Amino acid sequence: MSLATQIFYAVISVTVATAYGLTLGGITRKIYARVHGRFGPPVWQPFLDIIQTSGRRVSVSHGNMFLLGPVFRLAGGLGTYLFIPVIYGSAVFSNFSMAGDLLLVMYFVFFGQLGMALGAGQGGHPYSPIGIARGLAQMSTFELPFALAVIAVAIQYNSLNITSIVAAQQGGFMNWTLFTNPLAVVAAMISLLGMNMHSPFSIVLAPQEIPIGPPIEMNSGFLSILQTNRGLFAAAKLVLFMNLFFGGATNLLEMVAKTFFIYMFSVFVGAAYPRFRPEQSFRFFLKWPTIAGILSIIYIAYLGGTS
């Protein structure tokens, strides 16, 4: 496959993923509204919001780093997505998957937030550094169980390539990591709650405490980049989780079905719980999910697992 075709396929793949991620966002709002007993906004509301914010006539920048913040964030989202094979065996949706891509993806998952930290700090609003401090601290805590789960998976399948991890899970749902190594999935799914920043781990955006935290000064075009990234990044994370723990997908429909249910897990938890205090959130991640992650490694490495 020539590079040009690959790039063409990647553009298609990114567009589809972004649109899917934004639609998921719209569905989330709809579900929240239904839990609240409301009708809720239309599903395509996130698209309208992006057009609206990018169509503002004025935009205030606070300097070069401020400009780079959203760009870094989008780069993080793109980087995460572009190295994950979305659909197993599909040419269009295999992206730039390669040997050892799992490490690169792990890096990119956290890259965006670091870039955002640099950019938002220049906004000068006191709530953004507080939000960044919370965000980075929480990130390093939920990274721990997630990394442990990923290590367990890597040991289990003897590979750091997502494609081969997916390949190893093919042939019936009993081969999924969900059933072969449930402890790792528990650790990872709890850290997904933190990644998705729904309640009870919404401490970064907490509107009642630090009105939406780091992006408080982001406006117009900057905000629309962040919103686009939110769609893309959500899709990327879900696809990653689907690949690692839920057996990947062989067609688009399967991908949509699986990622939808993975996402709804965090949505329903978010609708039913209030927010943690920052230190409670950190302690929570360092406790049960971390123990589950360590146990999963022990289970795979020393007890032999089932694979």
Residues that bind other proteins (CB under 8 A): 29, 32-33, 35-42, 45, 48-49, 51-53, 55-60, 124, 126-127, 129-130, 133-134, 199-200, 202-203, 206-212, 216-220, 223, 271-280, 283
By C-beta, is 48 or 98 nearer to other proteins? 48
By C-beta, is 134 or 230 nearer to other proteins? 134
By C-beta, is 150 or 210 nearer to other proteins? 210
- Nearest Cα neighbor of 199 from 271, 113, 286 is 271
By C-beta, is 44 or 173 nearer to other proteins? 44
By C-beta, is 179 or 273 nearer to other proteins? 273
By C-beta, is 128 or 181 nearer to other proteins? 128
CB 185 to other proteins: min, Å = 23
CB 156 to other proteins: min, Å = 33
CB 56 to other proteins: min, Å = 5
CB 68 to other proteins: min, Å = 18
The full 3-state SS of the chain, as one line of letters, equals CCHHHHHHHHHHHHHHHHHHHHHHHHHHHHHHHHHHCCCCCCCCHHHHHHHHHHCCCCCCCCCHHHHHHHHHHHHHHHHHHHCCCCCCCCCHHHCCCCCCHHHHHHHHHHHHHHHHHHHHHCCCCCHHHHHHHHHHHHHHHHHHHHHHHHHHHHHHHCCCCHHHHHHHCCCCHHHCHHHHCHHHHHHHHHHHHHHHCCCCCCCCCCCCCCCCCHHHHCCHHHHHHHHHHHHHHHHHHHHHHHHHHCCCCCCHHHHHHHHHHHHHHHHHHHHHCCCCCHHHHHHHHHCHHHHHHHHHHHHHHCCCCCC
